[in-house]
Structure 1
Amino acid sequence: MSNVKRVKKWWFSWDSDKIEQWIEEMEAQGWHLTAVTGNAIHFAFEKGEPRRMRYCVDYQSARNRDYIALCQDAGWELLYDKMGWYVWRMPYTDTRPELYSDVDSLMDRNKRLIAMMATLTFAQIPIIVALFSTLNRFPYIYLIYAALFAFFLFGIVRLNAANTRLRGRREDIS
């Protein structure tokens, strides 16, 4: 049996908790994450002893040294840092640590993702208009852009729904 495993796993920005859960389950099975590459969809693992490791996937719209220093000072290890995405990890024994200690910070992260997705969504409009003259020759192009547009809109709706749930959680705490 090989001591190294490479996995390609697709995930969506509005469901980052699912990829975090998957990596944590791999750690619990003794597969230690050693590298994240390829726009955070390629994962390399090495076989070892099972351990409890908390993983957090985060998005920051701009690179901020203070953010990185703050997380590292809190005990988080940075594994991946590309295109605004960060993958952090921290070992634990009892209480599962959280990268964000308050609901407002999670909501702010979701707002950053919404802004990024809205920009990508509306950037498609001029392209679609410019391609209008090719509709008769290449109608499938519109299907591609319609699917892309729908994909980003779906992500925006999911992130807004998450913020609505978080707002309710914040009000329950207050």
Structure 2
Amino acid sequence: MTGDTRAWWLGPLRVRGTERLEVWFEDQASRGWVAEHLGFLSAVRLVLHHRVDPPRYRYVIDPRRFPDVVEDDLLRAAGWEEVGTLGGKDVWRAPYEGARPDLLGH
């Protein structure tokens, strides 16, 4: 890894629980280590990228069992960005200032 990337091996197993993992992502982002893209192997080897001045991010691991294209389009229109999948669940993020945003009543 270079100085601007960090790998976390078995991250979802080390930080158990959806809400705890979301908070972990947000804590890492507040330190400048941002999950830019999650792919098939991210549950095994999670790569974070360093950003000098990242926005404040809210990460959410989507609780829906069967995500829907129409709902995903609504989330994107509301300012959410799909980061990828982690352990078979979609991960979304949104930059914010002020109140921490919710996703799907989560």
Task: Provide TM-score, normalisation by structure 1.
Answer: 0.51
Shift of 1:42: 3.1
Tell me if the contact between 2:7 and 2:48 (Cα under 8 Å) persists in the aligned partners: yes
Superposed CA RMSD in Å reads: 2.4
The sequence identity of aligned pairs, in percent, is 25
Partner of 1:168: none
User: More helix by proportion, 1 or 2?
Assistant: 1
Higher relative contact order (CA 8 A, sep 6+): 2
Partner of 1:4: 5
Match runs of 1:75-86 below 5 Å: 75-81=79-85, 85-86=89-90
- Structure 1 residue runs of 5 or longer lacking an equivalent are 107-174
Distance in 1 between residues matched to 2:21 and 2:12, nearest whole Å: 9
Partner of 1:54: 58
Question: Which amino acid in structure 1 is aligned with residue 91 of structure 2?
Answer: V
Question: Which amino acid in structure 2 is aligned with residue 66 of structure 1?
Answer: V
Distance in 2 between residues matched to 1:2 and 1:20, nearest whole Å: 24
Partner of 1:156: none
Partner of 1:20: 22
Report SS of the residue matched to 1:87.
Answer: strand
What number of residue pairs does the alignment pair up? 101
Partner of 2:45: 42
Tell me if the contact between 2:28 and 2:34 (Cα under 8 Å) persists in the aligned partners: yes
Q: 1:71 aligns with which of 66, 72, 75?
A: 75
Report SS of the residue matched to 1:2.
Answer: coil
